[in-house]
Structure formats: structure tokens, C-alpha cells
Amino acid sequence: MPLPRLGTRSVRFRATGVLLFVLALAVGGTLLGFSLGGGHRPRSAGPVTVEVSPSHCGRGWTRPAPGVQTFDLHNASDGAAEVYLEDPGNQVVYGEVEGIGPGTTRQLTVRLGQGTYAFKCVPDDADAVTGPTVHVTSGRRGPGAAPVTEHDLIPPALAYQKWVGGGLDEVVRLTAELRRAVDRGDLAGARAAWLPAHLEYERLGAAYDAFGDADGQINGTDAGLPDGVGDKGFTGFHRIEYGLWHGQSADRLRAPAAALVKAVTGLRDSWSQSRMDPAQLGLRAHEILENTVQFELTGRTDYGSGSNLATARANLDGTREVLSRLRPLLTTRYADLSGLDEDLGSAQHTLDGFRHGEGWTALSALPRDRRERVDSVFGDLVERLASVATLCDPRRTA
């Protein structure tokens, strides 16, 4: 079995306005109306062209003034680069543009206030270069956040990886119980054992290929399979779920149950050899519940058990685990961390209202207004978690 790998989707938002919008939400700033072009804003003197290159980074900004300022960042070098506008003293970032190609120009709009600023040019294949320092003598500056480095993320990533390893031990134990129930022909017992095993796996945050090819064997759906639920490639938890809730015999489920135990055991045994990319940890905090909204709250992964809301609750637990490792970094960077905690609590309270002993209300049984409420709560939460992903995206400081 291939070693587990984490996804490599880019965390940053390519459109500058969107990135700054997320940054403004994260640090509790007032940049929102200025980066997206809406609302009233003070007049600026027009765009200032600033050079992006190793030899003349920041050249062109000679008349700093308070208020909203738009910069045309022109890459005069022969390679791609990203640019930060930062305080050179403490490296707090007030704006950034990623992926400026050679010979191209991208805009950056920020609010400048009293303080010290400099552009930092970060070529793809060379050391970072900091341009001239400029001083703004008045006004209220926009939001900023201290950069997170890959070194900062190593301890929380190691702690999270260890936690996942412990969780996989429990998944193996619970899937073995499920298999034993199937093997003895106890389908009622198998249905009772299926949900705890599946939820334990879902708590581990296996979003966007976090477990590589193993996730498809363990938790794949019939999407894209030519024969749908009857396809031989339909395996894992959802294959067993379909059989248990669609009247299939224990004989038909013994092979899928054995294959599931083999797959989760293989994943558990190989996990200690994996090397989690620390840069992906902040992304994981956002993607777990983004996955929930896309698949669980639409009912796309229900194969008969009606357990989507229970799965969403497990995904919420998994998100909390990631955030608990990132909290020391977020405490000094995310001004509205308390608001995120409130949204997490609201989501948990909402979902817990659908639990009845060991059972859960099926998503399809929710009245329209309650389903819209769930969608709204999770939509707000995913938006806040996008800020976590942005703030915890590691930035080069040299």
C-alpha cells in the first residue's frame, strides 16, 4: 500500500482582493470594503507602480501617504515571485500577492496608517529581498498578521500526526468488531457496529486525499464507477453501509468487511512511516468541514444509514483537534478567535439536537427551515476557517 500523503491544494487565494478579505476577517480589521471595491473609501492618489525584482525590490514608492493606496506591482525579473507589504521591524504582513509572473503586473490595495513599511520580494528560486523602508506619519493602518513559518508548524504537525495514529488504532478495533458481526451473520449487530467505526474514521479528518489511495478503499463512494453500487470497485464503509441497509445477506458482506479491515490495518501500520507536511495543517482545519458541507450536508454520501448529521458531528470533532494544535499560533494572530470558538459551539449545539440516544435524525427527515439553519451555521464556520488556513499558510521570511 502506498504511504499516506496529504493533499497539496494551494491554501492561498489567488485573487488579491479575496486574500485580503480573508486576512481582514482573521485579524478583525476594516479592510473589507477597500480590498473588494465596495463601499465608501477615501480618495487615493492613483496606483503607484512598484518594481518587483532582486535588485530593485520596492523601487518606485517615494511618496508614502496615509489612507487607501493601490500599488501596481510589476515583476521586472525573469522568474515568478510573490510580494509582501510588511513592517520590516516585526515582519507583520499587511498585504501580499502571490504568483506574479515575469513581465506581468498585479495590483495590491491596502490601508496605510502611521508606521513603517517595506516591500519584500520573494522569488521562487532565490533568497527574499526587502526593499527600502518608508514611513507613514499619520492615520490608522489596516489589518496585519505576523507570518507563520514552516518551523512554527512542525511541533503542532507532529502532535497531530501522533493523534491520528492513535485514532487509527481505534478504527482498526471497531472495524474488527463490525467484521465479526458480519461473519457470524448478525446483521442487526453489524448495523449497530457500523456507525461507531465509521465515525471514528471520519474524526481523523481524511479530507482531500489526506490518507492517499487508502481513503478510496476505506471510505470511497460509487461516484464515477461504471456499475455504480454494483461495481467491484465500490468498497469500504459505504459498500457495507449499502448492503446493511438494502437487505443484502451476510454472505455478500463478508468479503467487503474483510477487505475493510485489511485496508484500515494497512493504513494504521504504514502511518508511522508517513511524513506529514506541516504546511498542510492550517489547510486541514478548513478542508475537513468544507468537505462536510460538500458531501455530508448534501446527502451525497448516504447509502441507507441516514447518518450524515452524525458524520458532520464527527468531522466537527476532527476540526477541533486540528485547531487545538494550531491554537498557540492563532492566539496572537487571529483577533476573532473567540468568534470562531462561538461558531464551533453553535455548530456542535445544532448537531447535538439531532441525536437521540445512539441514533440520529436523518438529514432527509429535517424540515426545510432546520436544514437551512444547519447549512447557514456550517457556511459561516467554513468561512471563518478559511481565515485559519490563510494565517497558517507558511511564508518565507528569508
pLDDT at 10: 34
The amino acid sitting at 304 is: G
Full strand arrangement of the beta sheet holding 48-52: 48-52, 67-75, 105-112
Q: At 85, list the grid cell.
A: 507589504
Domain membership of residue 396 (yes or no) is no
Q: Assign residue 99 the CATH number of its domain.
A: 2.60.40
In this prediction, residue 38 has a pLDDT band, given cuts at 50, 70 and 90, of very low
- Please check whether residues 179 and 51 belong to one and the same domain: no
Contact of 120 with 94, CB cutoff 8 Å: no
Same domain, 101 and 162: no
Give me 152's grid cell.
512554527
Q: Which residues contact 210 (CB under 8 A, 6 or more apart)?
A: 4, 6, 7, 204, 284
Last-in-domain residue among 72, 101, 136: 136
In a domain, 169, yes or no: yes
Residue 238 sits in the same domain as residue 275? yes
Amino acid letter, 283? L
Render pLDDT for 236-277 as a digit per residue (tens, 0 to 9): 999 999 999 999 999 999 999 999 999 999 999 999 888 889
Asked whether residue 176 falls in the same domain as residue 321, the answer is yes
User: Are 246 and 289 in a shared domain?
Assistant: yes
Same domain, 223 and 123: no
pTM confidence score: 0.83
Region of 37 on the Ramachandran plot (φ > 0 left; ψ -120 to 50 alpha; else beta): left
Domain final position from 136, 160, 194: 136
Domain tally for the chain? 2
Whether 250 is covered by a domain: the verdict is yes
Q: To 5 degrees, how large is the angle CA 9–CA 340–CA 13?
A: 30
Phi-psi region of 343 (alpha: psi -120 to 50; beta: other; left: phi over 0): alpha
In a domain, 11, yes or no: no
Verify that 114 and 154 share a domain, yes or no. no
Same domain, 181 and 326: yes
* 116 plus 154 within the same structural domain: no
By CB atoms closer than 10 A (0-12, 13-18, 19+), residue 229 is middle
Residue 20 placed within a domain: no
Mean per-residue pLDDT, 188-212? 90
- Which of 108, 136, 164 terminates a domain? The answer is 136
Task: State which residues form the domain around 210.
Answer: 150-391
* Domain identity same for 207 and 339: yes
Domain of 328, CATH number, reads 1.20.1420.20
Q: What pLDDT score does 39 carry?
A: 36
Whether the Cβ atoms of residue 145 and residue 393 lie closer than 8 Å to each other: no
In this structure, is the dihedral angle defined by the CA atoms of residues 21, 23, 26 and 28, taken in order, positive or negative? Answer: negative
**What pLDDT, on a 0 to 100 scale, did the predictor assign at position 275?**
85
- Inter-residue contact 289 to 375 (CB < 8 Å): no
Averaged confidence pLDDT in the chain = 89
Which of 367, 215, 241 minimizes the C-alpha distance to 302?
Answer: 241
Residue 55 neighbours by CB under 8 Å, 6+ apart: none
**How, if at all, do strands 115-123 and 81-86 pair?**
antiparallel
Q: Residues 183, 257: contact at Cβ < 8 Å? A: yes
Q: Which residue has better confidence, 23 or 94?
A: 94
Instruction: Report whether 107 contacts 33 (CB < 8 A).
Output: no
- The pLDDT-based confidence of 2 (bands split at 50, 70, 90) is very low
Reported as type and span, the H/E element at residue 107 is strand 105-112
Residues 331 and 281 in one domain: yes
Q: Who wins on pLDDT, 327 or 46?
A: 327
Higher pLDDT, 39 or 267: 267
Whether residue 25 lies inside any domain: the answer is: no
Q: Please check whether residue 141 lies inside any domain of the structure.
A: no
pLDDT tens-digit readout, 269-314: 999 888 889 999 999 999 999 999 999 999 999 999 999 999 999 9
Whether residue 82 is found in the same domain as residue 120: yes
| Range 349-355 average pLDDT | 98
Give the cell for residue 354: 439531532
9 lies in some domain: no
